[in-house]
Amino acid sequence: MRARVALVGPLPPWRSGIADQTHRLARAMKQLGVEPTVFTFRRMYPGFLYPGPKNREKNSFDEGKEGFPGDLGEIRPILDGMNPFSFSSVSKETLASGASLIVVPWWTAFFAPHVLLLFAGLSRPGRGVRKLLLCHNVYDHERNPLKSVLTHAVLRRADRFVVQNEGSAREIVSVRPDASVEVIPHPSEPRVVIPDRAPARARLGVPANAPLFLFSGLLRPYKGWDVLLQAFADVRRTIPEAQLVLAGEPWGEARDLPARPARGVRLELRYLAEDERADWFAACDAVVCPYRRATGSGIAADALAFSRPVIGSSVDGLLGIVEDGRSGLLVPPGDAGALAAAMIRFVREGLGPRLTAGAAHRRTVFTPEAHARRVLSAGGIDV
């Protein structure tokens, strides 16, 4: 009898790395012969939790796409981020389906009441639904005592855990010493077709031979975009032709960047459609991830998917993905001088071809299928 699985989380066209990874996981499960029922959102965040350019809830939704992905099985868009009780419906439908495993992505304490209601509905005597928490973050990037209390309440009610690095595993064990925790790095989906570098640069208006560094994703404080700008000023003094692109939606102080332009820095402060993102990854020489802290990195995984090396911080979220000296260069977090030195070394020593080859090899290790197989195994389902 085929195992039944429920997967609860955002899907595209919701705009986030969490949504992209949920889509990849569901699709990979289907390819492995375990087609999950996906419960997803019809409404997610209130505007104050998503301070994009217009500070509206809809900023987390890609209005250029219509409908949910067509390559999955059953999709149930019944979740409402402003109504935790909508998650109770998931528990009822999961029990009625006879599912033996429910996988719930976890990344913010905002959804703690929702997940607690979901878990409570599944914890009926005689019902053997295993509750697996797929932790993108254990704790919010911006922590406070209330968020920690809510997080602990959720951690105490899950049965099994999957995390992306050893640091996150230690955080869970500190609350749940009895926990079953699997460390499974963020998957990288190898691109079937990578745009050619020269045409991509021509489309984007980038000089053919200029060293080009790319920062992609939300410009949030923990991602260290300000450290990168400080470092790049040093890079430009040594390599005047070097260029940096900041591509993504700005949060907080990053919204003021257009008022203080920097030499050699191109700002693309908006959500980029998939084709344009692909062009930037193809056009760049390296992707820079100067995180102050991170438990995982979809951007680093995307870089490897495009066979692009990563220059980043030696934080938990990158240590499990980037091999220092083979598929990228890692420096201490928050150290602008060390970051500048790594970027200069990358250009001056001609490390691009060797690290690009390492990235191309590395991307075959963390495929979505391998990730899904290990997640299912952690949940007690072998395929």
pLDDT band at residue 56 under the 50/70/90 scheme: very low
Confidence tier at 57 by pLDDT (50, 70, 90): very low
pLDDT of residue 10: 95
Residue 65, pLDDT above cutoff 70: no
Place 64 in a pLDDT band, splitting at 50, 70 and 90.
very low
Predicted confidence (pLDDT) at residue 54 exceeds the cutoff of 50: no
DSSP 3-state of 211: coil
The pLDDT score that the predictor gives to residue 59 is 43
Confidence of residue 79 (pLDDT cuts 50, 70, 90): very high
Among the ranges given (37-51, 202-216, 260-274, 337-351), the one the predictor scored with the smallest mean pLDDT: 37-51
Please state the domain extents for the chain: 5-187+367-378, 197-362
Contacts of 211 (CB under 8 A, 6+ apart): 239, 241, 242, 243, 285, 346, 347
* 233 sits in which H/E element: helix 225-238
- Whether 5-187+367-378 and 197-362 share one fold: the answer is yes
The whole-angstrom separation of Cα 376 and Cα 383 is: 8
User: pLDDT class for 55, splitting at 50, 70, 90?
Assistant: very low
Higher pLDDT pick, 52 / 177: 177
- Let me know how many helices (H) and strands (E) the chain has, helices first: 13, 13
* Mean predicted confidence (pLDDT) in 41-69: 60
- pLDDT of residue 207 exceeding 50: yes
pLDDT at res. 91: 94
The two tokens of residue 344 are 């200069």
Residue 366: is its pLDDT beyond 60? yes
CA geometry: angle 130, 132, 136, nearest 5 deg: 175
Cα R_g (the chain), whole angstroms = 21
More confident residue, 46 or 205: 205
* pLDDT attached to residue 25: 94
Would you state the CATH architecture of domain 5-187+367-378? Answer: 3-Layer(aba) Sandwich (3.40)
Mean pLDDT of 37-53: 76
- Work out the average pLDDT over 319-332: 91
Who contacts 105 (Cβ-Cβ below 8 Å, separation ≥6)? 8, 9, 10, 18, 21, 22, 134, 136
pLDDT band at 195 (very low <50, low <70, confident <90, very high): confident
The owner of tokens 């595209």 is 12
Question: What is 197-362's CATH number?
Answer: 3.40.50.2000
This prediction has a pTM of 0.78
Say if residue 62's pLDDT is above 60. no
For the ranges 75-79, 165-169, 297-301, the maximum mean pLDDT occurs at 75-79
Query: How high is the pLDDT of residue 99?
Result: 93
Instruction: Say what the pLDDT of residue 372 is.
Output: 95
Confidence of residue 312 (pLDDT cuts 50, 70, 90): very high
Q: Which of 131-135, 221-225, 259-263, 304-308 has the highest mean pLDDT?
A: 131-135
